[in-house]
Amino acid sequence: MFTLLATAQTSAVDKVFDKYSGKEGYTTVYISSFMFNMLNSLESDDPDYNEFKKATAGIKSIKILTQEGGNSEAFGAELLEMLPRSEYQEMMVVKDQDEDVLFLAREVGGKITEFLLIVSGSGEDVLIAIQGDIDLESISKIAAGLDMPGLENLEDIEDLP
Amino acid sequence: MLDRFYLGETSLEEENILQDYFSSASIPEELLPDRDLFRAMGTAGDSVAVPEGLNQKILDVIDQQEKKVVRTRRISVFSLSGLAAGLLVVIALYVGYFNADTPPRFAQQMNDTYEDPQDAYEEARRTLAYVSAKLNTGTNELEHVVHVSKTTSDPLKSLSKINKGAKELNLLGQLQHVERIERQ
């Protein structure tokens, strides 16, 4: 009971979710550490699943906040305000015609403890927050299992000198 | 003489005589009630010898009683205050738990969206794949940015590491891409 009272910091991202979950026009998805622990304890022969397990070994939770239609700019501005650069380092911004993707990371002791994606544009805004001990390398390999630019070239490998 | 006694006409001497008479053993039956009466009167008249030190004895008994009362009262006060203190601590903790902005509270507010682990797995995987894809798109472009490799910041170092994986597969794509450009 005393550990509950230890002043554990609620992170800024949690406050965003606190504020917006349940609000009209917003959808939240929450996958808890309880769920991840369960998934990580399951044995499987499926290589995809094992890859998933490796990537999510340190992940405590995934939270997704989606804003449908409506005030994209205000939401974006609010997020910027609630997620100060002092805590969340801007890692990368990828812009293409349909949307902007902003990557933010919060580091503690050389490890990434929170990894955020903010996608804005194309009618809906999404905030994805991955919390825990994050292994970006393993996570990036997950996409290798799906559509990845260049993957199709594997087929042509035999044709190259 | 008895009749005169009841009429209140006897002298003290005569009353004494009656007393002595009734104190003696053999009294006719019809006079027994009278004897009881004289006996009662007799004892009433005498002053009862007070045992010596009765006063002190009574005071002692009172003191003892008082001590008992005081003793029990002191014990109950201590145990009561201890109990109250303990109760206060419990209440404080309880209130503190509800007021503190703690993650467990957050977790209470936000419940797992999926009950079925299978659903959670699918959503988690889908999300991570999306994140990953976006990351890779970005890092692919970063290849062209020279300063990335020079960065000392750890997060960006991770990014360039990610890129290695993407790099191999992409090399093939780029070769073809370059070919296409040259043809144009």
pLDDT one-digit tens code per residue, B115-157: 888 899 999 999 999 999 888 887 776 665 545 445 555 565 5
Q: Give 3-state DSSP helix, strand, coil % of chain A, rounded to 5.
A: 35, 35, 30
pLDDT given at position B127: 92
A110: left (phi over 0), alpha (psi -120 to 50) or beta: left
Alpha carbon of B52 to those of B9, B57, B166: distances in Å?
A: 40, 9, 114
Q: Is there a domain that residue B170 lies in?
A: yes
- In the DSSP assignment, the letter for residue A72 is H
Domains held by chain B: number: 2
Strand order in the sheet with A111-121: A26-31, A59-68, A124-132, A111-121, A99-108, A89-95
Q: Which domain holds residue B31?
A: 2-45
Q: Is there a domain that residue B175 lies in?
A: yes
Range from A68-72, B51-55, B77-81, B173-177 carrying the lowest mean pLDDT: B173-177
pLDDT given at position B103: 46
Q: Is there a domain that residue B164 lies in?
A: yes
Q: Is there a domain that residue B174 lies in?
A: yes
Judging contacts by C-beta atoms under 8 Å, the chain B residues touching residue A145 are: 129
Rg (CA), chain A: 18
* B124 in contact with chain A, both atoms CB, cutoff 8 A: yes
Check whether B102 has a pLDDT greater than 60: no
CB A114 within 8 A of CB A13: yes
CB A52 within 8 A of CB A85: no
Check whether B11 has a pLDDT greater than 50: yes
Nearest CA in chain B to A146: B129
Q: Is there a domain that residue B11 lies in?
A: yes
Q: Is the ipTM of this complex over 0.90?
A: no
The A residues from 28 to 67 touching B (CB cutoff 8 Å) are 28-32, 34-36, 38-39, 42, 48-49, 52, 55-56, 62-64
Nearest CA in chain B to A20: B110
Task: Enumerate residue ranges in chain A where pLDDT < 50.
Answer: 1-7, 146-155, 157-158, 160
pLDDT given at position A152: 45
